[in-house]
Each structure stands twice: as structure tokens, then as C-alpha cells.
Amino acid sequence: MLNIKIFKKMKRLKYLSAVIFSTALLFSGCSKEKNDNEKTIETPKVEKTATLEMNKDSLDTKVIDDLKKQIIKRKLKLTTEALSIIGETRSLLQDINNSKKEEAINKGKELIGSLEILLAKDPDLALIPVDVNYQKDELITDVETVRKTAKLAKEAMKKGYYQLAGDLLKGIRSEMIINTYLIPTATYPDAIKLAVKAIIHDENEEPNKAAMNEGKVERLLMNQVSQYDVLDNMMEVENSFNLGDVKYNWAKQMYQVMIGNFWVPEKVSGLTDDATVYKQQLSPAERRAYKGIISFLTFLDSLQTVNLPNFSDYITSSDVNLILSIQSFQEAIHSQSYTTILETVVDAKEREEIYYFWRDDEYLLKRNKFIGDIYQKFIDDPSDRNFFAGIIGNFLLESLYFYNGFAFFDTLAYNSKMIATGRMINYIRRDELTHVAIFANIMKEIKKEFPEMWDEKLINEMFTEAVNQEIEWTHHILGNDIPGISKESTVKYTKYLANTRLAMLNMPPLYPDEMTNPYKHLEAMADNNSEKTNFFESTVVNYTQSSSMKGTWDF
């Protein structure tokens, strides 16, 4: 069941300031796709002071600080690229599993080249460890005995027998050893070369997999389970041994889909063409909407990146926490994607304007504050009601707030504008739809397992407020100025979305007169349930990289 922690101590975090900081870090770490005609090299810019009192020493300090920030940017960018390339190793192993010899060889050669180029750019990347294997060995007893012992400790804690619970936990410490094999990045290309060589010589599956580990440096990460604080961490003790015991089948299915949906913004080409379209073909209203909507979407994804752990801390189902961790990673990828778009399509001055759009736009500030306040209230007072309100807030963010923005980008692409941006949005939307399903299922589990927490009136109230704010914001940023979108279609679409999301919770519609999608003509572009190839490129938009993972959850 979804166990809600009572004793967990939460670190308070003011979301609006935290998200700005988090977003800034993500912005700094994302890659740029330079325009071909860009001739100048940007030098560090020193901000003008409000007074004339800056002396030479303070000016030098400012310049040095700016240079340090640029170095950090470059390091973060290269590290992100390295980890993305390493993540692609999954495809190579899947090709091996599926006996796709040619594909595995090509993928291996591609990975070798990419990693060697990165290591040439920055030798320090050689120190990044790559986790390639995780295993648990029970030294004295089996997992079932450990699980039962943890359960007894939990019951002892509930009854106030803390000393007994502590003794039981100490017993668990001696039952397990955990080994993690790490490969430094520097040796990783050699390991891939060995794998490719094994495939070329038609060796069977196991030697091919073993070849991937030839370059590894083994070290014992942990030789015993550390002692746990009984009051705060008893739930983690129990669940740390439960990964093979999946209660929620929907979580198992979501895991397989989300892992299969792995992508990085570098997969999308053509953003330099979008830069030309942005400058030469978009109307002033379309450019304003483009900037404002990307600013809002970036805020939403950055907020979720720092917010999700606060809620997963109160959910002790290991399978649900696993997919929430994947979601948090995907949100970071989305923020990077929006930044990649901006750093390619708009100039530096406009980027600054977009990053801080919320400061000068009262409507966007109101939206951001409303969302942040929901989460902050739970952090300040983690009661059952605030937890449930926060879960509703997550569901609304994932299921309602993104989609008028997505419709805008779909409309541009439908009119043959900003095609590459539209492709990026398709990948992001595919992830977001899985996030909608996650929180819909969490809410339904709460209704079954904690009926006293379920509050249909609160759900309807929050939906009504969210719909009104979404309509107000979209009227402000789009209005009647975008061909294919009107204030009337915005109202119809937002209420239609609210009805469909409530249906996922088995609840009646709030707006029974709005049951039809006014953007039906855009559904073919946004359909994530069928494989298709976009007219403008040969890359299949809807794909999964881990079809071979089906049925591999039990481990």
C-alpha cells in the first residue's frame, strides 16, 4: 500500500526562489546549436553598476567570477553530454539481446567515437564513474527472512518497543552485502570495443555482455547495511528489500514505457532552420507567445524537478518511487530541451528576457505563485490534507497546465512554422502523458487505501481554479492573435481537458457541454499512440528503445 510517513522530517524549501536557482543551473548546463552565420565570439559581460563606486579590485573580482561561471557552464554541459552518451549503451545491450549484430556493431562504434571526442575535450571526464551492475548477495539468510524481520521491527516500533525494533534492525545489518561495479569513463570506450569485437566474432550473448565489463574497476561500495534510525527510516528499511515484490501492476507497466521513452534534445535536428523562421516569418504576436509559453513551460518542468522528491519521501512503495525518480529525470531533460531551443533560436538578449519573463508579466507571476504555494503549503505543514492537495496539484500541473502551450506549438507546425520546435514538443508531450497517468493512478490508490483522505469537493474546487487560471493566462498570451487559436477555442479546449482528466479519476465532468476537442485537426500531429515518420525528417517520433525489456521487471 502507499504508506504515508508521519515522522519524516522535511527540509523546508521556498519554491519560487528554488526553482529560479534550479532553472538557472539547468540553463547553464545545456548545449547550444550555433547558427552557421554567427561570426563573433561572446566575451564575458560585466553588468553595469547602479553607482560609480566600483573600483578596479571589485571590477576584477566581477570579471573573475564571470569567468568561473563560464567554466562551470562548460563542465556541466560536457558532463551532461557524457552521461547522455553512456545512457545510450542500453541500446547496444538491447541489440545484443535481440541478436541484432549489425545494429550493435554500428551503435558500439558510434558510442566509442562520441566518448573519445568528449574525453579529448575534457580529460577530467575520465573520473566520472559509470554504474554498470548492481547485485545483492544474502550472506546468511534469504530476502524473505529479511523482509519478515523488517516487518517485525515495524510492528515493534508501532507498539513503542523501540529497543526491540533497534535490535531487530541490527540483525538485518549482518544479513546482506551490496556490491556495485563501477567503470571510470576513461576505460569505457575500451570496454565497448571489446563488446563490438566479441559480436563481430559471433560469440554468444553472455561473452558479449561480459565484454562490456572487461574495463571495469571493481570496488566494494558497501559491505553491510548501515544502521537505520528507527523513527525516521523504518519504512525505507522495509522497502529496500522489496523491489522484486511489485504490488502495483500499473507501476510496472509505466516503468517499462518510461525507460523505453529515453531521449535527449540532441536527437532533434533543424533548430537552426527554426531560428530563421523565428526572425523572418513569425508575426510579433507569435514571437511574443513563443517566448512567454517557453518561459512558463520551463518553470513547470524545473519546479517538478525539485518538487517530486518532497512527495516521494512520503510514498514508501518502492515501485512507485522508482517511476517518480524517472519522472524527475525526465523533467530535467525537458528543461534542458527548452533551453536548447532558446539558445539556438533566439539571441542572447531575448533569452535573458524569457528567463525572467515572470518578473515583468503579472499573469505569469500569478500562475507561478499559485502553483508554488500549493507545494510550499505541504512542505510547511505535511498534513494528510496538504499531502492530498499537493498530489492534486501535481496531477493538474501534468494534465492541464502544459497543453494550451503544446497546442500553440502544434498550430505553428501545422502552418509549417517552427517544425523542429514542434518535434521537440512531441517528445516532451509523450513523457508528460506518462506523468499524467502516474498521478491519476496514485490518486486512485489513495481513494482505495486511504478513503478518509479522498476529498472530491477539494478536487473539483482545485480543478475549477486551475481551469480559470489557465484560460486567463492563455487569453493573455495568445488571445485572438494566433491563426488557428481563439479565445473561444481556448475556453473549449481547457474545459474539455479538465473533463477528460476527471474521467481518469472516475469522476463526472465539470463542464458537460464541453466534451469535444476543438483542436481535433491537430491530433494527428500529436498522436503518441501510433508510429509515424514526420514529413520533414526520417526519425520516427513515437519510439521506444527498450522493447526487449518487456517482462524483465522481475529481478
Can you say whether residue 352 is alpha, beta or left, with left for phi > 0 and alpha for psi between -120 and 50 degrees? alpha
Q: In the numeric block, which cell numbers belong to residue 18?
A: 528554488
Does residue 294 contact residue 335 with C-beta atoms inside 8 Å? no
User: Which residue, among 402, 292, 297, 284, has the nearest Cα to 357 in the 3D structure?
Assistant: 292
By three-state DSSP, how is residue 444 classified?
Answer: helix
Does residue 306 contact residue 26 with C-beta atoms inside 8 Å? no
DSSP 8-state code for residue 32: -
Rounded CA gap, 436 and 425, in Å? 16
Does residue 518 contact residue 492 with C-beta atoms inside 8 Å? yes
H or E stretch at 132? strand 129-138
Rounded CA gap, 444 and 447, in Å? 5
Out of 338, 401, 403, 511, which one is annotated catalytic? 338
H or E stretch at 74? helix 56-87
C-alpha radius of gyration, the chain, whole number:
25
Q: How many CB atoms lie within 10 A of CB 117?
A: 11
Task: Give yes or no: 338 in active site.
Answer: yes
H runs (alpha helix) in 356-402: 357-360, 362-380, 384-396
Does residue 326 contact residue 259 with C-beta atoms inside 8 Å? yes
Q: How far is CA 141 from CA 146, 149, 238, 425, in A?
A: 7, 11, 16, 50
Q: How many CB atoms lie within 10 A of CB 37?
A: 8
Does residue 394 contact residue 406 with C-beta atoms inside 8 Å? no
Q: How are the residues of the chain apportioned to helix, strand and coil, as percentages rounded to the nearest 5? A: 65, 5, 30
User: Which residue, among 1, 6, 100, has the nearest Cα to 383 in the 3D structure?
Assistant: 6
Q: In the numeric block, which cell numbers belong to residue 175?
A: 544479513
Rounded CA gap, 95 and 104, in Å? 5
Residues classed as catalytic: 338
